[in-house]
Structure 1
């Protein structure tokens, strides 16, 4: 087993008080019930996704309260794992429809998968790559991350197809595309019919190749529901430009506002996924004639820009302005920012995409599959208060 998987699996280990499914004590008997409850919860989570129902290595581990590394060693029947735990892990894997047929032994090496990204700066990508690597390791494969944007003046948004062709020549098994790459048609052509799966991409690619997407209608709905429950009605969204995914999230925000009868109160301030543009958009919102009491953003980086704009304009967060992001990255959970965000379930996104790619590498030839993974809401300090009574419909007064 690779050292990466051991260290990453250790990071996933539960608290010291985790359930020991092998215990024969009275406490262990009670623990059995809790293990079953966790299994039911994981099964329900899988069922919530729109698409093929299958479990990942992380799902198997979570169902028993163990780490991914321990689950993998149990599935491989390693002798350092006690027999009863090995049995429980195999049972959980079968129950959750984990693809045991692709499981490789500890020393197997079947190939390399290329993960194509637009940028290395997005912390959400690191979460995905971690999940991809863990799942691929279970099949005896490894992953390399490849930035694809050509960084030369005459090709400001073109894809580096030369690098992709070089990967084909080196014999990579297939490609995983994170989000919507620039010039996707050229990218796909350069992959020379190697298996190709999109992760976190837009709905526009459904049917062209296997896709594992975030259910953004659910995600934006969770944000708007949360803010409305706090009393907010004047809610704006920063996003909608820069990619199809951004436009889809803006549309999902609009639909959520319409569902609450607040279509006339919804405002979309154009912004992409960068902090700089987020700050500019936030400044425009706060300098307008009608200032919102809450702002949702296309991602966590944009939310940081809106927070900076609020600070510069003298608005207190959350008492004068609630701000929410999207992605639940480390940026949102730091002790400094504490931003409410939508958790896209990156572990499941990455693991399922890896599974679908392995299917294709192994000869799966059915029609393109699509899975929309259900996100969840993580509420933090940035939305911990509703609007002040005098702020429910704020207007900015201009004094000559």
Structure 2
């Protein structure tokens, strides 16, 4: 089904996931048959944002030949157990997809450790990224360690654990990958010294300071709003905009998408960060009073779960009386309990490209900083499978003690 410049199609299996410029990203395992994948085709094809947009990853090579990433890697290394014909096919695919073969290592080489800096270990999106990072680093004989960098001290409610970063430098890590935005970025960068540094899924405000591989949030929020408007929703709210620059950018992208549909006056942003607790509080606020939205988009899947809890507590049925959508397409979204519509950021590509950029910097690449905005897709599930509630439906209110 095609609508508003979007395409809805049956979702491919997780093994088929490739660059969203060529096909829709796959739902996570456990999605079942109810998920539909929606993607924006025109944006990616017409607006490449860097030299990483056209380069292939190890997973791209494997997907193009219908083999696993492990087999592709062993073929690239010329392992004895891989038939020469397969080695030739894999090498040919690698060259066709512009995979950086010059960074390929022998299986016996162990060339170092990369540190992955994260704010939290509670977001399962990070697990998706780390898996993609490790697969790509394996081709160069490297591995990754995940390091939480968020610490709480009385003077600063949220601060970066710069002592841990300095310890990593002393231990001799090859470089750093940052997932999303860290607190105290100036101190973080100072502590990393001259080690290569690449941001993944971070704010576009970091563009030009170091290599960045970002989610194209304008496309992502546009997909959500286009989908909800196509169902008849007009009173659409967003929970987010707090906690990091990338959250504010997603809120801005939501407003822009609403403006594009002539619904700027209907756009409402309820302040919320990336946590379930704050998502539930924000959801409760939205469901109070006379102006209750019929649909809510959220900064991530964790926040959306909080909004679902608020809807349940307020007596709103989902999706009949309230449609809810997340961001990240994590295991939370695909679980049988939530069946949450969510934007899939194409974590495989985000992590793989960032790993490639970092390895190149470690190997001496001194070119200008690069920025790639990876176009996401959307997986439609039960939580947005209905249009707005009828005007005659009485809007429930949460009692305030």
TM-score relative to the length of structure 2: 0.86
- Per-residue CA deviations over 1:84-137 (Å, capped at 9, x if unaligned) read 222111111111100000011111111111111111111111111111111001
- Tell me: CA distance 1:179–1:302, structure 2 relative to 1, closer, same or farther (3 Å): same
- Per-residue CA deviations over 1:46-98 (Å, capped at 9, x if unaligned) read 86753212111011111122111111111111122222222111111111100
Equivalences, count: 364
Aligned mates of 2:255, 2:322 — CA distance in 1: 20
- Tell me: CA distance 1:217–1:153, structure 2 relative to 1, closer, same or farther (3 Å): same
| Secondary structure in structure 2 of the residue aligned to 1:212 | strand
| Secondary structure in structure 2 of the residue aligned to 1:296 | strand
**The structure with more strand, counted as a fraction of residues:** 2
The answer on whether the counterparts of 2:288 and 2:397 sit within 8 Å (CA) in structure 1 is no
- Cross-structure match for 1:153: 154
- Per-residue CA deviations over 1:121-177 (Å, capped at 9, x if unaligned) read 111111111111110010011111111112333443221111111111111110011
| Secondary structure in structure 1 of the residue aligned to 2:373 | strand
- Cross-structure match for 1:51: 50
The aligned runs of 1:54-69 (5 Å cut-off) are 54-69=55-70
Aligned mates of 1:40, 1:91 — CA distance in 2: 19
Aligned mates of 2:199, 2:398 — CA distance in 1: 49
Aligned mates of 1:191, 1:391 — CA distance in 2: 59
The answer on whether the counterparts of 2:125 and 2:328 sit within 8 Å (CA) in structure 1 is yes
Aligned mates of 1:388, 1:106 — CA distance in 2: 59
Aligned mates of 2:65, 2:94 — CA distance in 1: 10
- Tell me: CA distance 1:141–1:315, structure 2 relative to 1, closer, same or farther (3 Å): same
Please report the RMSD computed on the Cα atoms of aligned residues, expressed in angstroms.
2.3
Aligned mates of 1:396, 1:336 — CA distance in 2: 23
The answer on whether the counterparts of 2:287 and 2:397 sit within 8 Å (CA) in structure 1 is no
**The structure with more helix, counted as a fraction of residues:** 1
The answer on whether the counterparts of 1:325 and 1:332 sit within 8 Å (CA) in structure 2 is yes
Larger displacement relative to structure 2 (219-228 or 62-71): 62-71
The answer on whether the counterparts of 1:293 and 1:321 sit within 8 Å (CA) in structure 2 is yes
Aligned mates of 1:335, 1:49 — CA distance in 2: 36
| 2:296 matches 1:307 | no
- Tell me: CA distance 1:398–1:96, structure 2 relative to 1, closer, same or farther (3 Å): closer
- Per-residue CA deviations over 1:250-302 (Å, capped at 9, x if unaligned) read 00000000111111111111111111111111111111211111000000000
Between structure 1 and structure 2, the one with the greater Rg is 1
The answer on whether the counterparts of 2:314 and 2:396 sit within 8 Å (CA) in structure 1 is no
